[in-house]
Amino acid sequence: VSGGSLAVYSGCNVENSSYGATICAERNAALHAVASEGEVGFEMLVVVSDDSPPAPPCALCLQVLAEFCRPETEVHLVDTSYAEGKGGAHITLRFSELLPHPFIFPSMRQS
């Protein structure tokens, strides 16, 4: 996750025996940015996965990210082969292409 300050915040999956308590890398990175630096406007997301084609964020992550992303925020989906320079896939989308109708109360929308 990268915000207006251009700082980069990384995250990783934190698995838990109680699956509902598992935290995906996308939410981990987003909440790291908010908690550590107060970063609330994301300019770009990069999601790296072992899947080919690369996997997008899950629905729960997209809903959480909607609080901090603009519709035009760039989302880069990358598989590990591409990230390692060994071919693979890199897909660039706008956030609104992944979640066209987010659930956000008007009073909570970022300016």
* DSSP H helices in the chain: 25-37, 59-65, 80-83, 95-98
For residues 17 and 25, the answer to whether their CB atoms sit within 8 Å is no
CA dist., res. 56 & res. 69, Å (int):
15
88: exposed, middle or buried (Cβ count in 10 Å: 0-12, 13-18, 19+): middle
- Among 15, 26, 37, 67, which one carries the catalytic annotation? 26
Classified as helix, coil or strand, 21 is helix
Q: Is residue 26 among the annotated active site residues? A: yes
Q: Which residues are catalytic?
A: 26
